[in-house]
Structure 1
Amino acid sequence: MRGSANVQGNSRSTKEGRRRALRAPSPHERGEGEDVVIVGGGIIGINAAAFLSEAGRNVTVFDRTGICEETSSGNAAAFAFSDVLPLAHKGMIRQLPKWLADPLGPLAIPPAYLPKLLPWLIRFWRAGAAKHFEASLAAQAGMMKLAEAEWMGLLDRSGTRPMLREDGSLELYESEAEFRASLAGWALRERFGIGFSHVEGEEMTALQPGLSPRFVKGTFVPGWKTVADPKLLGKAVWAHAEKLGARFEHARIDRVEAGPDGATIMLSDGTTRKAKQIVIAAGAWSHLLARNLGDRIPLETERGYNTTLPVSAFDVKRQLIFSRHGFVITPLETGLRVGGAVELGGIERPPNFARSKAMLEKAKRFLPGLDPAGGREWMGFRPSLPDSLPVIGRARAPNVFYAFGHGHLGLTQAAATGRLIRDLVLGQTLPLDLNPFRPQRF
């Protein structure tokens, strides 16, 4: 067995050596330093790499795990372009006491974490003030419009359009009161040309057979889109960037420094790399790197949970949204994903998979006949800012750019962010006013 393993290892080494011999050496290997370094191999970093590579820049992505292996791998797979209402304005603060009374409800805060979280919650409460509403709504709507256009273009250029699903979504209500409470939000979406129709009875059943009779009405959004599998899409977009010359290195970045002549990253193994420009897109860990550059950004972590069941678990026709319960059910190419909810608990606490199990129990009640067997549980870290808008822009230090804090909209807004980062790095005219997203707004 040992001999066999050694032969296999030698074979792999030989293949790797041939592969390296066939490709051009990197700037680092030539002793020139890097051109553009992207810290983070999630969906935001991948898109930034794709856009910059298409523009002819030499890009190296660093990540401690791999390409699209962490939070970007397990999301709900939605292109939520119609989700223009900022989270801070959705009445969450009013519902906070009720939700906190249920440790397995739509939002949870571990009691021991509350003192650390309190400054962020105060900022979140302030961001939800009426005086900020129109500006936040306009910023989010503008970002969504750009995101849809840039994603459709990138899907075509990368050959990944077949991974797009355009089945719409169905949001479900258990009472007339819940339905009426949703109408103000739909009226706001209508202002931005987002199409929808309210359904009930046979029309709702036709959109999703097998629903529990507890649901009295629904809202169908025909323009809502999902993807076959977010992890597979991310890796396919990366393959597109890689064909254009982008490179990946498996390493953890502990520190970033910058000056007028370029920037430096310090790897966890003690080595350093020079780069002309750096993009920090490290998700929930980004603010730690920003802090040593002089930018204190109040990022928190929405810990999201899900269970992915076998494809055969239930014939779900399109993404089903249960807003009152804070989760969705998405049919993927690779399974049926039941997930969502928010746990504001930072990045150090171990997962509480009782939350996944609670959503699965509700899913069984909502879809009688759902087979809950054979599921894979998962938890990921959504990087969130108190005003529900990401940080996209220049750091205080020269030659460093930020692209993080998208909350639960990372997949949705990734292509827009990639386009904006490309234009910032190249010094081109921006398609969107970045003032609402500037890193120094806090």
Structure 2
Amino acid sequence: MRVAIVGAGIVGLNAAHALLDKGHQVTLVEPGNNSQRPTDGNAGWIAHTDIMPLASPKAWRNLPRWIMDPLGPLTIRPAYLPALAPWLARFVLASSPGRIKSSIAAIRAINEQALPAWKERLSALGLEGHLREKGILSVWRDRNHFLSAEDVIARQKSFGIPAEVLDPRELAELEPALRSVEAGVLYPDACHVSDPAILAADLLRLALERGAVRVDGKALAVQPQGDAVHIHTDGAVANVVADRVLISAGIWSRALAGQLGDNIPLDTERGYNATYAKGAFGLNRPIMFEGEGFVASPLDTGDRVGGAVEFAGTQAPPNHERTSAMITRLKRFLPHLDEKQPAKRWMGFRPSIPDSLPVIGQARRDRRIVYAFGHGHYGLTQAAITSRLVAELMEDRPASLDMNPFSAQRF
């Protein structure tokens, strides 16, 4: 089949390879200046051990403290509140015990297959060297806050996820540079990649070498017409014709899905980060600073601190005072860090859905059009398994897992 993929981020690129594996002709439609896509600036984690949705007791526990701090881990710009109200209403609904239980089951189902799918993809392409299997560490400043997370850790263990509880002495042995922590949990099976942008560049290069074609332009409309689907773009190639279409353009997927009859509660959690010289943090593995709203990643290209959630849409300019505040909080844990050294600052648009489950499924008006977007904080983690599901949907094969929780029509 002729398959066109709208969006050449980490999900779209994995889908391209899954479809090339099956012998299909692949065209990638992507604007050339999309510098704020999360593919290029995320923390680089394959966090398949995570099971909790954003709408969880942990988030609600921290929300009052976060929301009172305009530079804290979560903020909503007042001018954007009316536009965000429908998303917030669905977030509240997703926070009920029954909905949380359902979201956990769906997150676990897809994340359980995430790392094996990545290893299969990287091995097939000769890209195994991108994987860093050093585990991921969660740490708490306050032991009482750690104790309140014990139910989540117990649930992870019940799913067969290895989780090693560490005391301050063990943490010091594992991460000598780390200070001001009273408890930690090591997830030895979690891992990260060399650098998400470099991995994506390699996936694109190899897709083109395998015969995929890239069209430089923004998709303005996706229209089924007779025996084909047409993608209208603002680029030099104004019309791309395909037998099947995948929409995987992150936050920019919402408008296209709306044209096809699917009103998706998709918004952007704007994320911020700063990347310092390699070794600046002195860390051996990625760290989640629980309750602080940020993470640190020792990437091959530099040490990155990132996180924070800001709801302000796609048009408001970045507020890098948020980045500075995050760096200040990081120094509580890494007091040796010289925050005055040069660092590259970035802000990008995580595509977020209130129940923390991506949309993976067929469009309401035409089954030839498939969606794969809204992965939120799990875009890199779930990209490879998502690509397998996309190929199964496009070829009308049985799915590798229950697709109902991810349907676009669940709303």
Fold shared by both chains (TM-score > 0.5): yes
Q: Label 1:197 to 1:220 Cα distance change in 2 as closer, same or farther (>3 A).
A: same
Q: 2:41 aligns with which of 58, 70, 74?
A: 74
Q: 1:249 aligns with which of 215, 239, 243?
A: 215
Asked if 1:389 corresponds to 2:354, the answer is no
C-alpha deviation, 1:242, in angstroms:
2.2
Question: 2: distance between equivalents of 1:238 and 1:191?
Answer: 38
- Is the contact made by 1:67 and 1:235 (CA closer than 8 Å) also made in structure 2? no
**TM-score normalised according to structure 2 size:** 0.96
One-letter amino acid matched to 1:103: P
**3-state secondary structure, aligned to 1:87:** coil
Question: 2: distance between equivalents of 1:385 and 1:310?
Answer: 33
C-alpha deviation, 1:404, in angstroms:
0.1
One-letter amino acid matched to 2:148: A
- Is the contact made by 1:391 and 1:438 (CA closer than 8 Å) also made in structure 2? yes
**3-state secondary structure, aligned to 1:371:** coil
- Is the contact made by 2:216 and 2:235 (CA closer than 8 Å) also made in structure 1? no
Asked if 1:164 corresponds to 2:138, the answer is no
Q: Give unmatched runs, 5+ long, in structure 2.
A: none
C-alpha deviation, 1:259, in angstroms:
4.1
Q: 1:221 aligns with which of 165, 187, 195?
A: 187
Question: 2: distance between equivalents of 1:252 and 1:217?
Answer: 47
Question: 2: distance between equivalents of 1:162 and 1:120?
Answer: 39
Question: 2: distance between equivalents of 1:256 and 1:235?
Answer: 26
One-letter amino acid matched to 1:378: W
More helix by share: 1
Q: 2:246 aligns with which of 254, 276, 279?
A: 279
- Is the contact made by 1:41 and 1:66 (CA closer than 8 Å) also made in structure 2? no
Question: 2: distance between equivalents of 1:194 and 1:83?
Answer: 9
- Is the contact made by 1:66 and 1:250 (CA closer than 8 Å) also made in structure 2? no
**3-state secondary structure, aligned to 1:65:** coil
- Is the contact made by 2:177 and 2:281 (CA closer than 8 Å) also made in structure 1? no
Question: 2: distance between equivalents of 1:252 and 1:355?
Answer: 30
Q: Label 1:81 to 1:396 Cα distance change in 2 as closer, same or farther (>3 A).
A: same
Question: 1: distance between equivalents of 2:276 and 2:142?
Answer: 28
One-letter amino acid matched to 1:436: P
Question: 2: distance between equivalents of 1:243 and 1:427?
Answer: 27
Q: 1:375 aligns with which of 337, 343, 350?
A: 343
C-alpha deviation, 1:69, in angstroms:
7.3
**3-state secondary structure, aligned to 1:204:** helix
**How far does the alpha carbon of each residue in 1:73-125 deviate from its partner, in whole angstroms, 9 at most, with x for none?**
00000000011111112442454333211011111101111121111111001
One-letter amino acid matched to 1:219: V
C-alpha deviation, 1:68, in angstroms:
8.5
Q: Label 1:159 to 1:72 Cα distance change in 2 as closer, same or farther (>3 A).
A: same
- Is the contact made by 1:69 and 1:231 (CA closer than 8 Å) also made in structure 2? no
Question: 2: distance between equivalents of 1:151 and 1:260?
Answer: 36
* Cα-Cα RMSD: 1.6
Asked if 1:39 corresponds to 2:6, the answer is yes
Equivalent positions of 1:172-191 (< 5 A) are 172-191=139-158
Question: 1: distance between equivalents of 2:355 and 2:168?
Answer: 38
Instruction: Look up the match of 2:73.
Output: 106
**How far does the alpha carbon of each residue in 1:182-239 deviate from its partner, in whole angstroms, 9 at most, with x for none?**
1111011111110011111321111100222x21111111111000100111111223
Q: Label 1:352 to 1:66 Cα distance change in 2 as closer, same or farther (>3 A).
A: closer
Instruction: Look up the match of 2:16.
Output: 49
Percent identity of equivalent pairs: 42
One-letter amino acid matched to 1:112: A
Question: 2: distance between equivalents of 1:230 and 1:286?
Answer: 21
Question: 1: distance between equivalents of 2:124 and 2:36?
Answer: 23
Q: Label 1:394 to 1:259 Cα distance change in 2 as closer, same or farther (>3 A).
A: farther
**How far does the alpha carbon of each residue in 1:112-162 deviate from its partner, in whole angstroms, 9 at most, with x for none?**
111211111110010111122322111110100121221110010111111
Q: 2:161 aligns with which of 174, 189, 194?
A: 194
Instruction: Look up the match of 1:62.
Output: 29
